[in-house]
Amino acid sequence: KEVQIKFHVLLTSYELITIDQAILGSIEWACLVVDEAHRLKNNQSKFFRVLNSYKIDYKLLLTGTPLQNNLEELFHLLNFLTPERF
């Protein structure tokens, strides 16, 4: 029996994003806010790949860690936000 998932906000951890990938990946998300977004500065990381496979309309990245003057890190963050442009 298919159950409809209904909620306004889901607060979760990085670990559960990958563990619950089958369930969370099946949801069409309106918005995603990623705290500690510097974890996405590498497109080879599992976290980057898992989140990139989700259907998300809008994305917001928060980080207190500055880019280390590295254009590659900036490119990966921009690629996560707008893959059609970067």
Q: How far is CA 80 from the centre of its chain?
A: 7
Domain segments of the chain as ranges: 23-81
Query: pTM score, two decimals?
Result: 0.80
In three-state secondary structure terms, 58 is strand
DSSP strands (E only) in 1-86: 28-34, 55-61
Q: Does the structure show a pLDDT above 70 at 30?
A: yes
| Nearest CA-CA partner of 51 in 86, 72, 24 | 24
**Per-residue model confidence as pLDDT tens digits over 33-66:** 999 888 888 888 888 899 999 999 999 999 877 7
